[in-house]
Chains A and B, each alone.
Chain A
């Protein structure tokens, strides 16, 4: 399968703590995206990291990409209750997109 694997499946932290989630694929990664999904609603694009980038920041988000390990991580710093959601990585390949299995994040106020 070309789908990605994400871990952990679920993560529960206190407000103010950092949250890290990981994504890996069995096939090579060129570009990688992260999306957020609030409780069964549509996904929202967060950030794209390209194959020539090792790390990228956007506000409280930090994404890393290791093409040799075919993996990426998403770090959310100083988490807030509003960050409670599911997070998915996605690998664009040609005209298709292969999503990861998702990490469900709960931030406790």
Chain B
């Protein structure tokens, strides 16, 4: 089944404790992206990647890192999480330039205490 998977689905952590949220897609998509969703603000793009070893900042990249060492994986790293990073996070992927439909993962709900 074609899908985007994220792990973990739920995470409670404390301020300053590094964490990684994994994202994997099995559709051979070039483009992958991370979003955060907050009430009343919709989805905001954190980082995106056009292909392996190519990453770019989205609208709200502060406090996050990403890497794209393999085509299928695009982990989101929070080096020193803070309470304002408590949010619902989504990974998405799509084929390359010219295609617009993104396929979303199920989401990761993060609480930073």
User: What is A's interface to B at a CB cutoff of 8 Å?
Assistant: 2-4, 6, 9, 31, 33, 40-45, 48, 88, 90, 92, 95-102
Q: What DSSP secondary structure best describes chain A's contact surface?
A: strand
Instruction: Known A97-B45, A100-B42; judge A42-B101 contact (CB<8 A).
Output: no
Q: What is the interface of chain B, defined by CB distance below 8 A to chain A? A: 4, 31, 33, 35, 40-45, 48, 50, 56, 58-59, 88, 90, 92, 97, 100-107, 109
For residue B105, give the distance in angstroms from its CB to the closest CB of chain A: 6
Q: Among B40, B42, B58, B107, which residue has its beta carbon within 8 angstroms of that of A42? A: B107
The main secondary structure of chain B at its interface with chain A is strand
Question: Which one of A41, A45, A99 contacts B42 once the chains associate, using CB atoms below 8 Å?
Answer: A99
Tell me the minimal C-beta distance from A72 to chain B in angstroms: 14
Cβ contact within 8 Å between B42 and A95: no
Nearest CB on B from A49, distance (A)? 10
